[in-house]
Structure 1
Amino acid sequence: MEATYSRLGVYIHAPWRAVVRAARSRIAKQHRHDPALKQARKRFYCELLACHARHQHLVRMFRL
């Protein structure tokens, strides 16, 4: 998931909404609204947001 997060091109200080918007733009249009893939999309967004939070924590910890 780290590689996917780094390819989104979102700044580390961006809010969580910016991460979700960037991730949503990378998902194929036919998969964005498919009810069968709802749980997979939810898991994908949650993992990306967790990765974003980890990176923000590292930046705060090392004051980068």
Structure 2
Amino acid sequence: MAKYEISSTSVLKSWVKKYTSHSEIKDSGKGMSQAMTEGRKTTFEERIEIVEYCLKHQKNY
């Protein structure tokens, strides 16, 4: 978690919960807010891969 400067596992779990529930996620000032689109269920490993990709490519999932 320190590698990606994520403060705690609860922060990551909160992001994943919001992502999978398709609720609105608001950026902390670095971008625009957007509602999540409907998607498929993902495994925990897929979620980690998504977060790693977004961080590596400076993307907002």
Please report the TM-score for the alignment, with normalisation by the length of structure 1: 0.29
| Structure number with higher helix proportion | 1
More strand by share: 2
TM-score by length of 2: 0.30
